[in-house]
Amino acid sequence: MNDLSKLPRDLQGYIDVKIQSGEFAGALDVVATALPEMREREEPYEEDIEALRREIDLGIADDDAGCYSDLTVMQIAEQTRRKMEGR
């Protein structure tokens, strides 16, 4: 698992630069610092995907119950715009 020699050369070079700068003691320190940041970037997407799945399920349930509109998205947007202007 700790065999970082299989990384692409450009990543190996980047890790080497970080170690040589004294910022990190070794390759595992670089990886251990990078992974939490990667996880933080990915977690919102996972939450977004779950929210999207819930919305899709609601839409499917509405369709199954016969609750839908024959209007296009553009027509609905235009109706909404008119309502907002009329306030």
Summarised one tens digit per residue, pLDDT across range 9-20 is: 999 999 999 999
pLDDT tens per residue, range 58-85: 999 999 999 888 899 999 999 999 999 9
Q: Which domain, by its residues, includes 75?
A: 4-85
- Is the pLDDT confidence value at 1 over 80? no
Query: What distances in angstroms separate CA 56 from CA 41, 51, 80, one per listed residue?
Result: 24, 9, 22
Residue 2: what are its φ and ψ, rounded to 5°?
-90, 10
pTM of the model: 0.47
Number of domains present in the structure of the chain: 1
